[in-house]
Amino acid sequence: MNRVDRKRFRGLSVHVVLWLCVIISVFPFYWIVVMATNTSQDIYSYPPKLWFGGNLLTNIQHLFDKMDFFGSLLNTVIVAVCTTVLVLLFDSLAAFAFAKYEFPGKKLLFGMLLAMYILPTQLAIIPQYEIMVQLGWLGTLKALIVPACANAFGIFWMRQYTSSGVPDELLDAARIEGAGFFRQYWHVVLPCVRPALAFLGIYTFILSWNDYITPLVMLVDPSRLTLQVALAQLYAGHSTDYSMVMSGVLLAVIPLVLVFTFFARGFIADATKGALR
């Protein structure tokens, strides 16, 4: 094989390997659809059915009988959206202060953040639970939204981007025109950090959507669950109609995948931009 052939072979084998990985990444979704469209008996049978069946609607109907799907979907959306917006607001504000200003106690405050970054959330969950009881927020969505706003990653991410992505010249120009802190934030910082905000927004949204342990602990009433907890409850217990559960899995997974694929290009581009800073 001459050099050109060897190069082409290498190029081709790279693609083959990558396609293999893509298949591994995507295969579960295909298989979930197969299981969700067949019956439980089909799932138990050997050899297993490899193609889609026609049972999807029946499974979904059973699913809706057993679980308040749209209710928990709505709750999940509410929690995810509220958390995301609040995180974006609070984190970008605080990041601006840390990135472009000095003030007394800044080092200490930032150091606290650092320490908290590696603390697992589970460390705080029991007292959080008690606090929710005292506040009367137990079982409500507030109990999920508010604590999630204290995510250290967001501040680090925004601070990084703000400090290098917001040109000081623009800030100086704004200051000369008499703009105070918040005006500068609104007019200068926010437009500059848009890619970082976009990335953080999607990241927070996904994190909130997929969160399991917090709603597991805080929510009780079956009419007020989030999707993950409702799904897990569906699965537990002896008598499990597998195909019904799989239809639930399918419905739980699809929205995010669709939304993500739509925004994916931009998302990854923003991640790259942020990483390069």
Site residues for another protein, window 95-154 (CB under 8 A)? 96-104, 106-107, 109-114, 116-120, 122-131, 133, 136-142, 145-147, 149-150, 152-153
Return the residues of window 196-255 that contact another protein according to CB under 8 A. Answer: 197-198, 201-202, 206, 209-210, 212-213, 217-218, 220-224, 227-229, 231-240, 242, 245-246, 249, 252-253
Nearer to another protein by Cβ, of 57 and 123: the residue is 123
Nearer to another protein by Cβ, of 54 and 180: the residue is 180
* Number of residues near another protein (by CB under 8 A): 155
- Quick one: 179 exposed, middle or buried, by C-beta within 10 A (0-12, 13-18, 19+)? middle
220, amino acid identity: V
Return the residues of window 70-99 that contact another protein according to CB under 8 A. Answer: 78, 81-82, 85-86, 88-91, 93-94, 96-99
Closest by alpha carbon to 72, among 271, 261, 251, 194? 251
Query: Does residue 5 belong to the site contacting another protein (CB under 8 A)?
Result: no
Nearer to another protein by Cβ, of 61 and 266: the residue is 266
Place of tokens 């709750």: 75
Closest by alpha carbon to 215, among 118, 145, 149? 145
Return the residues of window 46-75 that contact another protein according to CB under 8 A. Answer: 46-48
Nearer to another protein by Cβ, of 1 and 176: the residue is 176
Nearer to another protein by Cβ, of 58 and 233: the residue is 233
Q: How far is the CB of 132 from another protein (least distance, A)?
A: 9
Give the largest Cα separation in the chain, rounded.
Answer: 76
Query: Does residue 12 belong to the site contacting another protein (CB under 8 A)?
Result: no
Q: How far is the CB of 63 from another protein (least distance, A)?
A: 13
Place of tokens 């969160």: 211
3-state secondary structure of 198: helix
Q: Provide φ and ψ at 275, rounded to 5°.
A: -65, -30
d(CA 201, CA 3): 47
Q: How far is the CB of 233 from another protein (least distance, A)?
A: 3
Q: Provide φ and ψ at 120, rounded to 5°.
A: -70, 145
Which of 30, 57, 70, 172 touches another protein by CB under 8 A? 172
Q: How far is the CB of 195 from another protein (least distance, A)?
A: 9
> Can you read off the two tokens belonging to residue 162?
């703000």
Cis peptide before 47 (omega within 30 of 0): yes
